[in-house]
A and B are shown apart, each in its own frame.
Chain A
């Protein structure tokens, strides 16, 4: 399978614990995005990488959230001291260089987080 891969698919944790999600993009895609989706809502932009550089972070990303993309390959999204409000589906997407024009985003199947 050559699509975007996310792990784990489901994570249940207790409030206050740290969690980490991993995303493996499509190999030739140099752009990587994280979005968050809650029930009944559309995905909300969290952050964006071009190669290994994190170029944009949403105001939704509090100091408890950190994302990395070492060597411009896979990416991790860590949430520290989780809160119940962090419960959501975390979606990763990748795309080809757009040359200044919008590109098609390929989404993974998401990592669902439940904070008890």
Chain B
């Protein structure tokens, strides 16, 4: 069965203080690794898809990387509006995502 573990569970940052979130996974035949952002009371919002080890993608202050066993989401010089729960998910077949529990990031001004 697919397993996705995210760490840390919670992260408190000062504005401008860069950090990284970890997503380790066990899946038979990874077809894609996804990062989503979720604000309180809302549905997840797509950020990135990574398909193969060594791949990197960037969006504003966020950068996602992928190895054969884990993915990192780097947040560079975060702002308070980056506060959210960041979810990692793996896809092993054509339709189902298996999500981790998420990392809740709080950025203080």
Question: Among B14-22, B65-73, B96-104, which stretch is in contact with chain A?
Answer: B96-104
Q: How large is the interface on B (under 10, 10 to 19, 20 to 34, 35 or more residues)?
A: 20 to 34
Quick one: which of B49, B96, B102 contacts A104, CB cutoff 8 A?
B49
Given known contacts A42-B87, A42-B102, A105 and B97 CB-to-CB distance under 8 angstroms: yes
Q: Write the residues of chain B forming the contact surface with A, with a CB cutoff of 8 angstroms.
A: 4, 31-32, 34, 36, 41-46, 49, 51, 87, 89, 91, 94-102
Distance, CA A101 to CA B43, complexed state (A): 23
Which one, B94, B99, B102, contacts A98 given CB within 8 A?
B94
User: What is the number of residues of chain A that contact chain B, defined by CB distance less than 8 Å?
Assistant: 27
| CB-defined contacts of A31 to chain B, threshold 8 Å | 95
**Residues A100 and B94 in contact, CB atoms below 8 Å apart:** yes
A-B contact pairs, 12 of them (CB 8 A): A42-B87, A42-B99, A42-B101, A44-B99, A50-B95, A56-B96, A91-B44, A100-B94, A102-B94, A105-B46, A107-B43, A110-B43
